[in-house]
Structure 1
């Protein structure tokens, strides 16, 4: 698409600026300002401070026709920077939104929706709950990866913090042995291994101990762990898996004489539902751009994303665009690849494919 090609210098500048100035989720002030300024300069109207996030925004151009949104992510990872390539996502989505607005004119409403904190709290969760995506015709986002992939899904996830509380005592006391909260946590951790085998759907239960005591000669009166708990459907996760985890924790507390508290420390990310029609259109457009695509099975899950919550509100796709071989997200190598000249060329392909798919919807 000529409209995207003409924006190549601007999109490269945006991508590399974000890469050189990484900001953590909810604090992406420079990133949001850069994208908002770009949108306003092209005649988009912008609404800021969405769903409690200062760095969330909705940029809109057009008044009638299909309402098509391109989702921009721009948060980075602690210490690793843009090791998930959100600098490229932001540039691709802006390029697609601007191109659609330029080509469609009054035949469509083009949205660039700025979505902070995908790596942590997931602004799209609150935005979806607030109805931000209701009434849209489609939502599109492309993620950088080690190849071109289409389809599949993501795991629903609802992380859980488990805290056991006992009673402190000196380990050498002859009168009071205390109640060891760490023993309870270890028992629970071992029980998780057995619990995994009881579920009839694919699940992930993985955790770390975040608090195990204060001194080796003091019986720990509090012990804490954080678990990422995932399943292929949010319904199975919420109705079967998490209740079973909580029952296990309660049983361990009863057996060990401790008390237990279970708290969700991050919101529910629902599983991704890719729209078959949008997938078909996107695949056709990738072919027109000379790209080959690996089509994943619908149940092929890889990671978790708050885009899943969007997909439960509006037809959505979340394909991948290759920016290099043998890359693994959230690594220094991926961060380096996201700033490469090759990646800046590849983001143009992602932006074009999204814009072309959106234009197909005008018919």
Structure 2
């Protein structure tokens, strides 16, 4: 079977799967689950995969709701990444219900057409919104040896390229000595004063970085009562850069040096802890981007290509992209949508979005066909 015929076959296979894909998407939308607790979502996807002959392995990299479903025995290994966690109170305001359905549709259609000419993998990736299971999965080698890792994200328009911010959030805790503010002899050591100095110093430090960065934070603990000198003060900071190397080798050491210097000057102690793992920047593969664009055009879709350094948010797909050729394009499901809003959640459950997910599934499956020998 030539590639043109194979592409027609995967398009037809996705169309045949349409009722199942819409059912999966809407079930997830109506039953949102938080990261690491996506038991219904993972169970539904694994059941669908087993029903079509995929071999399923559960409990990956310490996540009960992570899985790998595989079909085929030879040729290139193509992974379709499924996300399915929701947001607190907002539900599927990032459209992961659509991502899960699209990736399963692409994996199933590709497996049906490619047979043993390739290995089709549906990789279930929990907790993208929080701890980012793909971080641990990438470290464990789950994505090593892949010819491609594909995922499509719903958005307000079709986009391709760009990047994401590398991020490694930091918690800073100063320790002092408590005392009553009216004490005549023991004045204590004010941990909040140290933290305020650090917070102010961050504003100056931010100006010294030579690459595009994001550095912002909030004070999460500043004392227990106004008449007691705080012996503990804590803040959390989002620390982001367009390069994980710059983030890890320049930004974070400078921030930690600032904290240590202020602790020394104020007689306090300081502890810095990363409360979330390192999400690396997204490296979109140029070759895969070109193939995906051609296939979207074949489906009658136009695609906006973003500049390589254009970033909007962070994702653990970045860690995948450092281990395997990866693309993470956007698929438009409605105009003027912003992720993580009630409006996006509504759009992700709309009839229009359920039709659009078929486009994403077809484009990924067709791109996988292009990678066959």
- Give TM class, smaller chain: over 0.9
Partner of 1:257: 267
Q: Deviations over 1:285-309 (max 9, x none)?
A: 0100111111001111111111011
Indicate yes or no: 2:115 matched with 1:115: no
Out of 148, 157, 166, the position equivalent to 2:158 is: 148
Task: Output aligned runs, 1:68-79, within 5 Å.
Answer: 68-79=78-89
Shift of 1:30: 0.5
Partner of 1:245: 255
State the SS of the aligned residue for 1:280.
helix
Indicate yes or no: 2:226 matched with 1:212: no
Partner of 1:348: 358
Deviates more, 1:168-177 or 1:52-61: 168-177
Task: State the distance in 2 between where 1:143 and 1:27 align.
Answer: 21
Partner of 2:61: 51
Task: State the distance in 1 between where 2:350 and 2:161 align.
Answer: 26
Q: Deviations over 1:61-106 (max 9, x none)?
A: 0000110000000011111111111111000000000010011112
Q: Deviations over 1:116-171 (max 9, x none)?
A: 01111111011011001111110000001111110000111111110001111111
Runs of 4+ in 1 over 2 A off after TM superposition: none
| RMSD, aligned α-carbons | 0.7
| Unaligned stretches of 5+ residues in structure 1 | none
Task: State the distance in 2 between where 1:184 and 1:335 align.
Answer: 41
* TM-score in terms of structure 1 length: 0.99
Task: State the distance in 2 between where 1:332 and 1:220 align.
Answer: 39
Shift of 1:218: 1.0
Task: State the distance in 1 between where 2:301 and 2:230 align.
Answer: 58
Aligned length: 363
Shift of 1:217: 1.2
State the SS of the aligned residue for 1:228.
strand
Shift of 1:215: 1.1
Task: State the distance in 1 between where 2:178 and 2:338 align.
Answer: 44
Task: Output aligned runs, 1:149-188, within 5 Å.
Answer: 149-188=159-198
Q: Deviations over 1:219-276 (max 9, x none)?
A: 1110111111011111111000000000011111112211100001111111110100
Task: State the distance in 2 between where 1:61 and 1:303 align.
Answer: 33
Indicate yes or no: 2:283 matched with 1:273: yes
* TM-score in terms of structure 2 length: 0.96
Task: State the distance in 2 between where 1:341 and 1:45 align.
Answer: 32
Shift of 1:329: 0.8
